Amino acid sequence: MDTLHFDSSDLEVTEDFLSRNYARMRIGNGTPDAGRARIRRDAMPGVTVDELDLDFDMSYDVTPLQKICLCLVHEGTIRDHGFGDVEDAFGPGDVVSFAPPELPYQGRICAARYNITMLDPELLTRVAAIDPRAEPGPVKLLGHRPTSASAAAYLRRTVNHVRDNVLGDPDMAAEPLVVSTAAQHLAASVLAAFPNTALIDPTGTDRHDAHSATLRRAVAHIDEHAHEALTVAEIAAAAHVTVRALQYAFRRHLDTTPLAHLRRVRLERAHADLRDADPTTGVTVTGIAARWGFYHPGRFATLYRDTYGRPPHHTLTNN
């Protein structure tokens, strides 16, 4: 087991530490001495568990970590936009997954105390392969919030167990079998908590519920609430079915996923706003994109061009 401690009131030193020990970050807060950062990291093969206490506000812009990155908020607020370009705000008690391992993400931390747990995506794939229902191939998470409150609570307990009873106990942390089992337990808890590509095989009830009426209810909810921070679990609840039944309904009838459909609807709304806007009033592509949950200008421009055949600023300036 490896343990790392950091304590500093210098923002530049903090930025350098985070960039070296996480991924390249840009932190903006106005002054170089704006508050204190306390960080403790405990690590075992394939998993790191960090406790961070920042008594100042900071923005971050993170390059892809190539890790599953979980966040448990103890105090304060974290505003992140990285999973499907959708911004969401997390507060005390929330447990979420940040951006997919291969994507960058951005956000802002407001005087927060929180836990960051990172694990190798390959660990999810190995654990999922044990389940006979699992689809073959690498596992990807399909949403950033757990599918239920009970799943979130169990994942929080699992993270705390790994932190306190494995990494926090030198004797246990020195036992390879205990460490390996704890890592697999954590991966299994992540798979149970978040919708993912491995365990989406519907039950008989799910198949029965995945009819066109389910799809209509889900699509109507997405259309009505596309401007809000929607999760797969919320869409499923609005359609009165399980998350798996919802995913199966979209796959069966539209050959897509609920989040992919939500992104398409938001892109259509952004396109309509760009088309109808008056550029002389000061409206911008970035502002319209952000209104519909697209907080990464480069990714929005690429998606827009791939869909509509021209850059978004052409739509705005050629009305």
Decide if 158 contacts 186 (C-beta within 8 A). yes
- Predicted confidence (pLDDT) at residue 227 exceeds the cutoff of 90: no
Structure tokens, 287: 């502002």
Burial 174-192 (b: 16+ CB within 10 A, else e): eeeebbeebbeebbbbbbb
pLDDT in tens, 57-105: 877 778 888 999 999 999 999 887 666 556 678 899 999 998 888 888 8
pLDDT of res. 120: 93
Decide if 126 contacts 90 (C-beta within 8 A). no
Helix H or strand E encompassing 49: strand 47-54
- Predicted confidence (pLDDT) at residue 28 exceeds the cutoff of 50: yes
**Amino acid symbol at 63:** T
Percent of the chain's residues with pLDDT above 90: 31
Three-state DSSP state, 313: helix
pLDDT band at residue 275 using 50, 70 and 90 as cut-offs: very high
pLDDT band at residue 133 using 50, 70 and 90 as cut-offs: low
- Predicted confidence (pLDDT) at residue 209 exceeds the cutoff of 80: no
pLDDT of res. 34: 60
Q: Pick the closest to residue 313 from 296, 295, 301 (CA basis).
A: 301
pLDDT of res. 84: 55
Q: Which residues contact 17 (CB under 8 A, 6 or more apart)?
A: 6, 8, 37, 39
Burial 117-130 (b: 16+ CB within 10 A, else e): bbbbbebbbebbee
Question: Rounded to an integer, what distance in angstroms lies between the CA atom of residue 251 and that of residue 228?
Answer: 23
Question: Rounded to an integer, what distance in angstroms lies between the CA atom of residue 91 and that of residue 80?
Answer: 11
Percent of the chain's residues with pLDDT above 70: 87
pLDDT of res. 16: 87
Structure tokens, 68: 């599953």
pLDDT of res. 32: 46
CA distances from 263 to 51, 176, 182, 222 (A): 33, 43, 36, 10
pLDDT band at residue 153 using 50, 70 and 90 as cut-offs: very high
CA distances from 68 to 22, 75, 103, 106, 241 (A): 12, 22, 11, 16, 27
Burial 265-291 (b: 16+ CB within 10 A, else e): bbbebbbebbeebeeeeebebeebbbe
- Predicted confidence (pLDDT) at residue 226 exceeds the cutoff of 70: yes
Average pLDDT, the chain: 84
Q: Which residues contact 180 (CB under 8 A, 6 or more apart)?
A: 45
pLDDT band at residue 260 using 50, 70 and 90 as cut-offs: confident
pLDDT in tens, 120-130: 999 988 888 76
pLDDT of res. 23: 67
CA atoms within 13 A on the CB side of 50: 22
Q: Which residues contact 139 (CB under 8 A, 6 or more apart)?
A: 121, 124, 125, 128, 191, 196, 197, 198
pLDDT band at residue 134 using 50, 70 and 90 as cut-offs: low
pLDDT of res. 40: 94
pTM strictly above 0.85 = no
pLDDT band at residue 21 using 50, 70 and 90 as cut-offs: confident
Question: Rounded to an integer, what distance in angstroms lies between the CA atom of residue 230 and that of residue 23?
Answer: 28
Three-state DSSP state, 54: strand
